[in-house]
Structure 1
């Protein structure tokens, strides 16, 4: 009986972790120490609702621009600058799109909180 109870609790914990809705972490196309993940939360009215979260794997504070769009190559839905401490996760960001696709670009990465002295792409 005790073994069955432990198994049931274990299954519920595993199920909750799998069902949280987040995609796997992905490296950005240009910076191997910046990762992101997406979560599609369905629709509100006619708009698709997404959560986006960033992770900093650099050994220092970084800042970067991120662009989110519904069309590959046209990054105009949102453009913002984000600052993350060493080994930090961002708070989830909410984004709305008309379609079911979302594209993300990270650029202008700096090892400071200011948009200057950008580092080069390290994955090419």
Structure 2
């Protein structure tokens, strides 16, 4: 029993240490369709009537890619923003600010291309 409690305390302490070193960033997540594109989110609080989020992307592709990213509410009723992003090989993007009406959001990445232009899209993996 003491061993289990010790493991739980250790796991909780490790979680706190990780959260502090990431400055509030959630862990990197693979996109639902493209395993070589990851993203992470950081909730920066409420600004007036809007929720402030920061988003970062990183690419594990060996060449330049571009893609669309859409931010919607969790129910996907309202598209909050749609943008196109280009990343060089193995690049991590700068932080991007997103403001939303709802606190719960959903991120979708699509229309991935191996060029900086929205053309010749690659299939979902």
What is the TM-score normalised by the length of structure 2? 0.81
Q: Which residue of 1 aligns with 2:112?
A: 109
Give structure 2 stretches of 5+ with no counterpart: 1-16
In structure 2, the CA distance between the partners of 1:34 and 1:72, relative to structure 1 (3 Å rule), is farther
Q: How many residues are treated as equivalent by the alignment?
A: 109
In structure 2, the CA distance between the partners of 1:75 and 1:83, relative to structure 1 (3 Å rule), is farther
How far did 1:62 drift? 0.2
Cα deviation 1:39-70 (Å, max 9, x = unaligned): 00011112110001000111110000000012
Residues 83-94 of structure 1 mapped to structure 2, 5 A cutoff: 83-94=86-97
Give structure 1 stretches of 5+ with no counterpart: 1-12
Q: Distance in 2 between matches of 1:27 and 1:15?
A: 19
Q: Distance in 2 between matches of 1:115 and 1:23?
A: 29
In structure 2, the CA distance between the partners of 1:35 and 1:110, relative to structure 1 (3 Å rule), is same
In structure 2, the CA distance between the partners of 1:42 and 1:32, relative to structure 1 (3 Å rule), is same
Cα deviation 1:93-113 (Å, max 9, x = unaligned): 101111210110000000111
Q: CA RMSD in A?
A: 1.7
What is the TM-score normalised by the length of structure 1? 0.81
Q: Which residue of 1 aligns with 2:76?
A: 73
In structure 2, the CA distance between the partners of 1:21 and 1:83, relative to structure 1 (3 Å rule), is same
How far did 1:114 drift? 1.0
